[in-house]
Structure 1
Amino acid sequence: MESQSQKDSLHRASSECTNPSCFFCSMNEQDLSLRKAKLARCFREMPQRDDQEHVLVLRGIWNIAMTQPDDPEFPSLGIFECMGKLIQRAVKDRQWLLRDQNIYIPYYAAHIIGSYTMNKVQFAEKAVNSNAVLPLIELLRGKISWVEQRVAVRSLGHLASHATTFEAIAEHEVEIIKLAMEISCNCIKTVYRRFVGVKDSKRVKYHSDLLTTGLGDLEIENRKAEEWASQLQCWSLYLLNCFACKGRSLNLICNKHFLKELCGMWGGLANCASPGGIGCIRTLCDFKAGRESLANSKEVMEILCNTSRSSDDWQYMAIDCLLLLLKDTDTRYIVIHAAASSLADLVELRSLKERKKVGEAITQALLQDYHKIKYGDLKLSSQDAERALKETWDLMVERRKREELMSEEELRERKDLVGMLKQEGNKKFWSGQIEKAVTTYTKALDLCPLKMRKERIVLYSNRGQSYLLLHNAEAVISDTTRALCLSSTASPHRKSLWRRAQAYDMKRVS
């Protein structure tokens, strides 16, 4: 099979081309005004013509759109109307779609629209005015296959991201949101069922060719298909987030089942434009209806708590969500019951990514009205939550005050005593007296001055290891998280990372 560049060269070299609407001849025209006129005619006539070179032409345009998405030439000459009509023809005329290599046309056409509308709002406006939205929605409905859905949802996401073209997408709001929700939930299974899980000989050939440009083996095909499935999910979430950011259709997006599914959609990190599942949850936290739905979902709260005490790249986002839910008086006490114990482990976290004083923000949110609890004016129904708030108050307020009044001599005495207790705890641990080791490490932590961060890291981590042997996963996660908060985010305490991972595995198994 000849490569595209070889075919292009042969076509350009041909002196016998008599087609006045030939794309390649138009591109070779030296006179700028004639070139534009010929290209405009080419784009105008292409959807009506039957030409075996359509796919070759679209691949050439796709390459240009991918490498030069901000070039105004093609958008100014009718490229969007041309691509929209080609998609419509593919959807309506099955016989034409299956002729020659026309099956490739809707994929490239939708991809071209998405590439040109990615950055330039004026290009997006041209696409909308050229009636490109409805053809893309047809592909989003799955009229052809998941491969075309992927590029259609990408294009619609770009159009929805621009303020001046959002409403053109919002005219089909309910259907688009329902389709994007369905795709994001099912696309991984769909791609496996229709491609990855299918025998090589029975796979749709043009899918294989698009995935690897016809040059990859089975392993590369599978890997690429999984990558595309992830992208399909990411772009569906991006499209949903465009509506959520404006507070649109929250009654649909905040569906209880969907929120539960959303928690598991952690893709998107490789694509900086995608919010991922937790990014959508963070967006919902900006709205009263969103906060209420999230706070009342046990599954969402559990995932946010687990992610806040993790080394996941979304950790800061999970903490953000919990803080926003705590600040709302209508959701505060629901969240306190669910998240106080998790957040109490993070109060000494100094920085996270570019954010400073994260622990202080958490402390303030937790202790916002602690005086009501302390003096009996407010009673929490959860003893664990009340205990977590009291521990936070004692650690971050009372203990700080006491230690500020300590003399240097008293601090040295404390340091010596802590060292002795740590050694004693280690001896009990290695002799198999695990519960006694926990008690000793606890005494050492109660006495250890807050400024002795390195010593406290080791004590928390050692007690976490003891709890691991006692199969107390929650206590392990708590202690190792506290150790990691005290260590540097750039160089986290490795033993604590490993022990926390083991504890999360223990929870999943149980």
Structure 2
Amino acid sequence: MDSLKKKGKITPNFIPVNPTINTANMGLAQNCDNPGCFFCIMKEPDSSVRRAGMASCFKEMPLRDNQEHVLVLSGIWNIAMTQPDDPELPSLGIFDCMVSLIYKGINDQEWLLRDQNVYIPYYAAHVIGSYTMNKVEFAEKAVKSGVIPPLMELLRGKISWVEQRVAVRALGHLASYERTFKAVAAYEDEVVKLAMLLASSCLDVVYVNFVGIKDMRKRLKYHSDLLTRGVGGIEMENQKAEEWASQLQCWSIYLLNCFACKERSLNLICKQEFLKELCKMWGGLVNHTSPAGVGLIRILCHSKIGRKSISGCKQILENLCHLSRSSDDWQYVGVDCLILLLKDPDTRYKVLEATTLFLIDLVELKSLGDRSNLGEAITNALLLDYKPSSKLRFKNSKVQGALQEIWELKVEKREREKMMSEEKVEERRVLIELIRQQANRLFRLGGIEAAVRSYTEALDACPLKLRKERMVLYSNRAQCHLLLGDPDATIRDTTRALCLCSPANCHGKSLWRRSQAYNMKGLARESLMDCIMFVNGCINSEMMNKQEKIPYHAARMISKQMEKTWLFAGAHKRATGSDHVKEVQDSDEDDNETERWNEELEYKLITKMMTEKKSTACSLSGLSTTIEEPLKLKEGNRRPGLKMGRRRNRVVVAQSM
């Protein structure tokens, strides 16, 4: 690909067709003297003539050297993206044509660098992926046309990371069907190794070869044009490159999912080095339809080999524990993984000590999205073989105490309160309110530690069915812990409060307090998720005055954590040896004044984004110019109990207290 960087080899003025434009109605097709013009053929009213013309066009296109090929390909790309289920083009030889064009680009570099041909392999692979994403019949036709070998060439990096992105996307679709999986599995060892390598290294590759190049003149022009459709400056290019890099990583993981679901190549996928990297791969705000690394981890947890490998990886266990106590949309995935590990006798005692102190805070969780009785499932997993009289002891005495606490709360206290009358419950409610008011007074007078003791007293006396009262007590006690500088205790109490509210994770005060506690512990991702949920709640609160702004401190927290969780933060550090994501620029202005101005600007931007009620994911990462389908495994190729993906719900939604 080095030759592509030589100036003069790539025409700089090409602007790819905008995906919203109907190429069949473009002025370029008017007054056309070419009898074989694709766009003229597309406008032919007689279907039999039109079909014959397009079939002839697909046969002749790879054989002719025409400057208009790239325009035709971009038009076909537009059709494939907007009408992926239309059988007309797949039935007329579109796949054979795309195969020939990809091979031509790979094998004939002189042709690739002439005119605008460098765009053609990208469009061809994208067309294959679009037509095979929904219909197994199209996937079978594509495989018979021989699409896999040229896609493998692109996957090997024969051109660039841009072509790798669409190649791994197409291969992922083909591998997700039972009827075409075998064709992809013919390259199993190489496919799995390449997908693992791509998932691990693609962010560094995109950063070093594109985002990290500050001089736009030194970037590959055709990459810039493909990313922004020829519109937008360096900021838009960087935003789109970030989005595409995330997609490249997530599609690579998706391809691995297809093999892991069938328990294929698990010895390769479960290598400790890759697992450590996997837990850092976050679908995040950029690619908000994919569970990314944690999605593959959950699939691995359904297999014996996978559970054994994951139970021995400290980094993954820590990641799953933090995820299970977060407001991330994939929280339930973290919980699922931990439950699977706890239920397996071979891994239970390897993970019990590491997970108990996290899962104890979730035992009263009723539902999470479409998942119900999660708290009961967690309780059963933790207390699977536990008995209060058991002589089993742990190195960490806190674990023994936590299991005892769960037993007392979920077994003994529940049993005692079964016979409690409504009158007795009401008496307790009045008593608890008095204790709470006393604790509030102590708090206001600065007696923080005394207030903690009073809130604890109220919680001990509060019946389990008074969930709202217990939520407030936990949240108030968390505020005390926060002021006392104890982030761990703050996280425990706020998590319990968020499990008690309905729906889960909607109590604004608890979200903000936990966001601050996560920030104190350096857990930027978890802090960011809580802060976004908190701001969403502020915007949608019925009590909020329309003239009020998003709390300044929350906007600043989002800005801070967005910088820390930037997709390329790790790649930037490795490339520059610096922990600072933002580059320092020389300025004659006063540093303090500049900092205040930047803070005010960031606050205004974040406030505008959130109050306009756009999708937080899109608002914070840039609008997509290419609509990518959600990552999900096709029906008929899924083992019972496995789900490949779930759309992240980062759109601002109404929340209730």
TM-score, with structure 1 as normaliser:
0.93
- State the match for 1:497 in structure 2: 511
CA distance in 2, matches of 1:215, 1:205: 12
Structure 1 counterpart SS, 2:521: helix
The C-alpha deviation readout for 1:315-346, integer Å capped at 9, x for no partner, is 11111111111111111122211111111111
Query: Does the 8 A contact of 1:262 with 1:278 survive in 2?
Result: yes
Select the structure of larger CA radius of gyration. 1
Partner of 1:16: 33
Find the aligned partners of 2:468 and 2:397 in 1 and give their Cα distance.
31
Q: Distance in 2 between matches of 1:255 and 1:404?
A: 50
Deviates more, 1:213-222 or 1:391-400: 213-222
Match of 2:407 in 1: 393
Query: How many corresponding residue pairs?
Result: 506
Does 1:81 find its partner at 2:96? yes
Residue aligning to 1:186: 201
> Which amino acid counterpart does residue 14 of structure 1 have in structure 2?
N
**Residues of 1 paired with 2:59 and 2:424: CA distance?**
87
For residue 189 of structure 1, report the CA deviation from its aligned partner. 2.6
The CA distance in 1 between the partners of 2:206 and 2:76, in whole Å, is 27
Pick aligned residue for 1:211 from 203, 227, 230:
227
Match of 1:333 among 321, 329, 349: 349
Partner in structure 2 of residue 426 of structure 1:
440
More displaced stretch, 195-204 vs 133-142: 195-204
Cα distance in 1 for partners of 2:448, 2:504 equals 32
271, 277, 298: which one aligns with 1:261: 277
Within-5 A mapping of 1:121-160? 121-160=136-175
How far is the alpha carbon of 1:28 from its aligned partner? 4.2
Partner residue, 1:482: 496
The residue identity in structure 1 corresponding to 2:333 is M
Q: CA deviation at 1:159?
A: 0.6
Trace 1:42-81 onto structure 2 (pairs within 5 A): 42-81=57-96
Kept in 1: contact 2:243–2:286 (CA 8 A): no
Shift of 1:453: 1.8
Is the CA contact 2:439–2:450 (under 8 Å) kept in the aligned structure 1? yes
Does structure 1 retain, via aligned residues, the 8 Å contact 2:103–2:150?
Answer: yes
Q: Distance in 1 between matches of 2:311 and 2:424?
A: 46
Residues 300 and 306, structure 2, Cα contact 8 Å, conserved in 1? yes
Matches within 5 A, 1:57-456: 57-198=72-213, 199-267=215-283, 274-371=290-387, 374-407=388-421, 410-456=424-470
Taking a change above 3 Å as real, the CA distance of residues 466 and 403 of structure 1, as seen in their structure-2 partners, is same
Correspondent of 1:464 among 478, 485, 508: 478
User: Cα–Cα, structure 1 residues 161 and 269, in superposed 2: closer, same or farther, change >3 Å?
Assistant: farther
Contact 1:84/1:131 (<8 A) preserved: yes
CA 1:11 to 1:491, structure 2 compared with 1: closer, same or farther past 3 Å?
closer
Per-residue deviation, 1:302: 0.9
CA 1:507–1:171 in structure 2 vs 1: closer, same or farther (change >3 Å)? same
Deviation larger for 450-459 or 52-61: 450-459
Q: Is the 8 A contact 2:16 2:229 kept in 1?
A: no
Q: CA deviation at 1:30?
A: 4.6
Segment of structure 1 superposing worse, 31-40 or 259-268: 31-40
Cα distance in 2 between the residues matched to 1:47 and 1:212: 27
**Post-superposition CA distance 1:404-458 (Å, at most 9, x none):** 2345555444334323332332233333333232222212211122222222112
Q: Secondary structure at the match of 1:251?
A: helix
Structure 2 residue matching 1:370: 3-state secondary structure: coil
Distance 1:9 1:363, change over 3 A: closer
* Structure 1: gaps (5+ residues): none
SS of the counterpart of 2:435? helix
Please list the CA deviations of residues 363-383 of structure 1 after superposition, one character each: whole Å capped at 9, or x if unmatched.
Answer: 111111112xx2225333332
Equivalents in 1 of 2:227, 2:425: separation in Å?
65
Q: CA deviation at 1:502?
A: 1.1
TM-score by length of 2: 0.73
Closer/same/farther in 2, CA of residues 378 and 15 from structure 1, 3 Å limit? closer
Q: Alpha carbons of 1:268 and 1:307: their partners in 2 closer, same or farther (altered >3 Å)?
A: closer
C-alpha contact 1:238 1:275 (8 A) present in aligned 2: no
Letter paired with 2:29: R
C-alpha separation in 2, matches of 1:491 and 1:380? 32
Distance 1:274 1:458 in 2: 34
2:428, 2:462 within 8 Å by CA — same for their partners in 1?
Answer: yes
Tell me, in whole angstroms, the C-alpha distance in 1 between the residues paired with 2:75 and 2:110. 24
Deviations 1:117-140 (A, max 9, x none): 111111111111111101111111
Alignment check: 8 A CA contact 2:95 2:147 kept: yes
In structure 1, distance between residues paired with 2:268 and 2:291: 18
2:365–2:375 CA contact under 8 A, matched in 1: yes
Q: Give the Cα separation in 1 of the matches to 2:23 and 2:341.
A: 59
- Structure 1 distance, partners of 2:152, 2:23, is 35
Report if the CA contact (8 A) 2:311-2:351 is conserved: yes
How far is the alpha carbon of 1:23 from its aligned partner?
2.7
Q: 1:406/1:146 Cα in 2 relative to 1: closer, same or farther (>3 Å)?
A: same
Q: Distance in 2 between matches of 1:10 and 1:346?
A: 61
Within 1, Cα distance between the matches of 2:58 and 2:237?
A: 33
Deviates more, 1:426-435 or 1:206-215: 426-435
Shift of 1:79: 1.1
Structure 1 residues 275 and 409, CA gap change in structure 2 (3 angstroms): closer
Instruction: Give, in angstroms, the shift of residue 475 of structure 1.
Output: 1.2
Instruction: Identify if the C-alpha distance between structure 1 residues 31 and 387 changes in structure 2 by more than 3 Å, giving closer, same or farther.
Output: same
User: Cα distance, 1:290 vs. partner?
Assistant: 0.6
1:245 offset after TM fit, Å? 0.8
Task: Report if aligned partners of 1:441, 1:459 keep a CA contact under 8 Å in 2.
Answer: yes
Measure, in 2, the Cα distance between the counterparts of 1:48 and 1:142. 25
1:471 Cα offset (Å): 2.1
**Alignment deviations for residues 280-309 of structure 1 (CA, whole Å, 9 cap, x no partner):** 111111100111111111111111111111
Cα distance in 1, alignment partners of residues 16 and 137 from structure 2: 34
1:88 aligned partner, one-letter code: Y
Q: Confirm or deny: 8 A CA contact 1:237 1:275 kept in the other structure.
A: no
Change (3 A) 1:268 1:115: farther
RMSD (Å), alpha carbons: 2.3
1:246 aligned counterpart, secondary structure: coil
Q: Rate the CA distance shift 1:311–1:99 in 2: closer, same or farther, 3 A.
A: same
1:347/1:363 contact within 8 Å kept: yes
**C-alpha offsets along residues 441-490 of structure 1, whole Å, 9 cap, x if unaligned?**
21221112222222211211121111112222211111111111111126
Report the structure, 1 or 2, having the larger helix content. 1
